[in-house]
Homo-oligomer: A and B are copies of this chain.
Amino acid sequence: MKNVDGVKYRMTKQKRVILEVLKNTKSHPTADWVYDKVRKKIPNISLGTVYRNLNILKNQGEILELSYGKGFSRFDGNASRHYHFTCEHCGRILDIETPEFMEMEHEVARQMGVKVARHRLEFYGSCPDCMTD
């Protein structure tokens, strides 16, 4: 696999474990959470390595980076395009399997005179566990 500069990527123990951790959780963890988790298997891994590989994996399309604006990013091992639901009470982030609403892109393109390449849609509210309030 090569990146945009024609440089070969290598598969390392660190990168493999990072990807493994991310693929094996349904949560949408922060870089720090991944770091803690990976350290269980590679105790001397450095945080910089986690960040570097998360970026590489994102550029390779293996994972998604989600920005929720609290100053840090979250990562999603599910690289397929899908929406998210964030519970405003417990903070949990759930994947939504609803198919993409593509008509919106056409409508915006027509109305604004722009070319729409993609969109991002986030829902917020109460999850089933937090509904009783």
Stretch at the interface among A5-13, A22-30, A48-56, A114-122: A114-122
Interface size class of A (residues with CB under 8 A): 35 or more
Residue from the list B88, B119, B125, B131 in contact with A122, Cβ < 8 A:
B119
A62 within 8 A of B: no
Chain B residues with CB under 8 Å of A43's CB are: none
Least CB distance from A57 to B in Å reads 16
A122 to chain B, nearest CB (A): 5
- Given known contacts A68-B67, A69-B65, A85-B108, A115 and B131 CB-to-CB distance under 8 angstroms: yes
11 other A-B residue contacts (CB within 8 Å) besides A67-B67, A113-B128, A119-B122: A67-B70, A85-B108, A85-B116, A96-B112, A98-B107, A105-B123, A114-B125, A114-B128, A116-B123, A116-B124, A117-B125
